[in-house]
Amino acid sequence: MYSTLQKFIKSKTDIDDQSLLKISLYFSLVKTKRKEILLNYDQVCHHYYFINKGCVRLFTASKDGYESSRYFAFEGNFVTALPSFIDQKPAEEYLQTIEKSELLCISRIDFYKLVDEVPQFAKLYTEILELGFIVAQKRIYGFQGFDALDKVKWVIKHQPQLLLRISNKMMASYLGISPSTLSRIKSKL
Amino acid sequence: MYSTLQKFIKSKTDIDDQSLLKISLYFSLVKTKRKEILLNYDQVCHHYYFINKGCVRLFTASKDGYESSRYFAFEGNFVTALPSFIDQKPAEEYLQTIEKSELLCISRIDFYKLVDEVPQFAKLYTEILELGFIVAQKRIYGFQGFDALDKVKWVIKHQPQLLLRISNKMMASYLGISPSTLSRIKSKL
DNA sequence: GAAAAATGTTGCCCTATGTCAACGTTTTTA
DNA sequence: TAAAAACGTTGACATAGGGCAACATTTTTC
């Protein structure tokens, strides 16, 4: 149950087995169906998730139902609605599984407790933040000034796995283009 | 010289005067003209800057000279090309003052030394990362799916000071719209 | 495994916004 | 402070990509 998580942590920091076990035991297993909402727009986010299996999507929806996908996290990665998790304000975004998934869930309280008590976990958190920041940067700036074709090419180059696991509709909402346009572009590649 | 920096640090974490002084002494003063390049596209970023006075812009330029502004930092804030600073790879972006400025500069080596040696500084770094992440998020997602008018309104609401200190041209390159369009929109507000 | 629902594709038309150019205004430089 | 350069504004025009609808295909549900 904890092997993927432990492998992930070991890959990021030098850690003894005892600390690793201590960390692990704060995580509980959550099994979900596909399209299950983990966090609603108005909710404050109290959990961090590690994905053992499946895929989690971070997105928003405008009043008229238009969805805008922000981020997709797959096996072996952490995901949460970080701004809400940090500030404890309403998320203004949704967390949702897009496949049947197995998640390891830790409460915010326990998470920050580990950050305080286990230096390696603090280091891990710093690396998650650094990496998150870099990915977010690449995402914004990778797209800035791009037309639809360039965006698709960018994803093919930098996140090819997305195209394989994500529906066209979600892909389009991630790229900020319409499904029609995405469809037209794909037919010309 | 260090008073703004020290005020900033005190506002983020509980710290004794000795640690504060220790931190301060690693920073050296850099005075710049306007439009001075602090970091070039191909360079690896070795410094973190705190802005005592003035303004620093983070941007990229495509081969044909089109500039895309990423971020503007003003008095009392830290700024660097973080992905390059973290990974020590070429920045693929520029750092530039847009006004005559006074910066406090710390080398990457000293910066991480402080992160290791001064717990409050580590905490400060975590907060900078958290905040940076949140701001980057708001930036991406605030703009996603917006047309030009919505983007301008978003900035008026969330970063009104930008409109006062930044030229239309830079503002447009920040919003990802043409100066003409920005000009037309402003005339209709 | 049949019916229903969701998703993907494609054509037609339309709008927002880019490009270019002309001109006025402000800022910079010497 | 005068000349040059950069910037801002506005009009005419071109075009990428959105909206909608019809139909095809795939996925889900019972």
* pLDDT tens, position by position, B149-178: 999 999 999 899 999 899 999 999 999 999
* Residue A70 within a domain: yes
Give the count of beta carbons closer than 10 Å to the beta carbon of residue B55.
Answer: 20
Domain that holds residue B53: 3-136
* CATH number of the CATH domain containing B14: 2.60.120.10
Look at residue B178 in the predicted model and tell me its pLDDT.
Answer: 95
Look at residue B103 in the predicted model and tell me its pLDDT.
Answer: 95
**Any chain A CB within 8 A of the CB of B70?**
yes
Number of domains in chain A: 1
Q: Does residue B132 share a domain with residue B150?
A: no
In three-state secondary structure terms, A16 is coil
Query: In A55-136, at which residue ranges do the beta strands (DSSP E only) sit?
Result: 55-61, 67-74, 78-79, 94-97, 101-107
* Residue A122 within a domain: no
Is the Cβ pair A83, B138 closer than 8 Å? yes
Residues A84, A112: Cα–Cα separation, whole Å: 14
Residues B110, B114: Cα–Cα separation, whole Å: 6
Are residues B114 and B26 in contact, defined by beta-carbon separation less than 8 angstroms? yes
Indicate the range of B58-67, B82-91, B96-105 predicted with least confidence: B58-67
Residues A146, A152: Cα–Cα separation, whole Å: 9
* Residue A164 within a domain: no
Domain limit, last residue, from B136, B159, B176? B136
Q: Does residue B189 share a domain with residue B98?
A: no
pLDDT in tens, chain A (189 residues): 899 999 999 999 999 999 999 999 999 999 998 899 999 999 999 999 999 999 999 999 877 778 899 999 999 999 999 999 999 999 999 999 999 999 999 999 999 999 999 999 999 999 999 988 888 788 777 787 788 999 999 999 989 999 989 999 999 999 999 999 999 999 988
Q: Which of B130, B134, B153, B148 is nearest to A92 (CA)?
A: B134
Q: Which of B107, B113, B88, B104 is nearest to B51 (CA)?
A: B104
Q: Does residue B78 share a domain with residue B151?
A: no
Are residues B78 and B48 in contact, defined by beta-carbon separation less than 8 angstroms? yes
pTM of the complete model? 0.88
- B interface mutation test: which of A57, A58, A120, A144 has the most B CBs within 10 A? A144
Look at residue B47 in the predicted model and tell me its pLDDT.
Answer: 97
Q: Does residue B109 share a domain with residue B186?
A: no
Enumerate residues 6+ apart whose C-beta is below 8 A from B128.
B78
Give the count of beta carbons closer than 10 Å to the beta carbon of residue A46.
Answer: 16
**Residue A11 Cα, gap to closest chain B Cα (Å):** 16
Q: Does residue B181 share a domain with residue B97?
A: no
Please give the distance of CA A127 from its chain centroid, rounded to a whole number. Answer: 15
